[in-house]
Amino acid sequence: MWVYILAKYKRAKGWLSNITYAGGSTGYETKNGKPDIKYFERNGFVCASFATYVYFNYLPNVAGIDTSSLPRPADSKLADSWYKAVQQWVKKGYSREIKFTASIDSSRYIVFKPKETIPIGSIIIFRPHSSTAKRGSHVVVYAGYKNGNHWVYHVGTKNGPEMCAVERMLYGPEPQWPLMVVTTPSNIRFAASLDLTVTSDDGTPVVGAEFSIKNTKTGAVTKLGKTNASGKIKKDNLNYGDYTLTQTAAPAGYTAAAATKISLNTKNNSLNSIKVVNKAVVTESVSSDTVS
């Protein structure tokens, strides 16, 4: 999935859904409380209605993530309405704008360099490459950085929902240029977050305890790092699923906790809070009787 494939080859590979490019859906349509996929297949998505579907239909109705506090685009089918909405996310303090630089190389690829890591689920707004006006013409959902490309989910051609790369947005009949990058809102989460707290028996924060997690299904190990002065480790953008939490090192004076099974899920807005106790090492004092 992390290799750029020309649009015309994707359907033959079975990578695409039955949803095509068309403006008949708002993105909000549901049936029995779930996204109405058949409706989307009949009526299609544009880029803005697809982003609307992701944030205000799929997340609350499938992933169980509450997005009701977020300002919504006035017109769910217009990218410029999304541009105005995410500016409100920033104004209200839910999101941050990530600065970036962009240029064109000899192959007409966009050389896109954000000033910091872009969280998965962030929104990127594009403008027409032929215009310098600050008007949104395309909206995408950020999917991650892999193999030298910044990948996004979007609808931009008759393929309907698909993955594409920011670097390739100059290709096609309507070349696009990045205008604004807005982080995933802090009051919602696209992926699991782990809030690990480590204390001693008496509740004192344990500093410098080191942990990792191992995905039960894939076997992938993720290092979480060391607890801070508050005895905490916070880790974002983790995959949902079952894990083994392992303490790989204990600070002096403490005994490492035994490995334990944990589950990272969508409950509590995908914030998974785990508490671990490190027992203090008991040192025995040795006394001797003086014989006179």
Residue 47 has pLDDT above 70, yes or no: yes
Q: How far is CA 93 from CA 136, 184, 185, 273, in A?
A: 21, 11, 8, 23
Q: Say yes or no: 200 and 175 in one domain.
A: no
Q: Say yes or no: 81 and 176 in one domain.
A: yes
pTM higher than 0.85 for the full model?
no
pLDDT tier, 292 (very low <50, low <70, confident <90, very high otherwise): very low
Range of the domain at 207: 192-279
Distance CA 238, CA 194 (A): 8
- Mean pLDDT (the chain) is 92
Q: What pLDDT sits at residue 37?
A: 97
Residue 286 has pLDDT above 60, yes or no: no
pLDDT tens readout for residues 94-105:
999 999 999 999
Tell me, yes or no, whether 290 lies in a domain.
no
Residue 289 has pLDDT above 70, yes or no: no
pLDDT tens readout for residues 2-39:
667 777 777 777 778 999 999 999 999 999 999 999 99
Tell me, yes or no, whether 41 lies in a domain.
yes
Residue with tokens 């970036």, as numbered in its chain: 100
Angle among Cα 181, 175, 99 to the nearest 5 degrees reads 20
Q: Say yes or no: 27 and 116 in one domain.
A: yes
Q: Say yes or no: 201 and 252 in one domain.
A: yes
pLDDT tens readout for residues 153-171:
999 988 899 999 999 999 8
166, 112 in Cβ contact below 8 A?
A: yes
Q: How many domains does the chain have?
A: 2
When pLDDT is averaged across residues 112-137 and rounded to a whole number, the result is 95
Backbone angles phi, psi at 223, to 5 degrees: -80, 130
Q: Say yes or no: 156 and 196 in one domain.
A: no
Q: Say yes or no: 140 and 209 in one domain.
A: no
Q: Say yes or no: 24 and 136 in one domain.
A: yes
When pLDDT is averaged across residues 56-79 and rounded to a whole number, the result is 92
Q: Say yes or no: 205 and 120 in one domain.
A: no
254, 206 in Cβ contact below 8 A?
A: yes
Tokens at residue 29, please?
Answer: 């349509």
Tokens at residue 219, please?
Answer: 């076997």
Q: Say yes or no: 207 and 164 in one domain.
A: no
Tell me, yes or no, whether 265 lies in a domain.
yes
Q: Say yes or no: 261 and 126 in one domain.
A: no
Q: What pLDDT sits at residue 2?
A: 64
pLDDT tens readout for residues 239-277:
889 999 999 999 999 999 999 999 998 777 788 999 999
Which residues have a Cβ under 8 Å from the Cβ of 164 and sit 6 or more positions away? 140, 151, 152, 154, 156
Tell me, yes or no, whether 274 lies in a domain.
yes
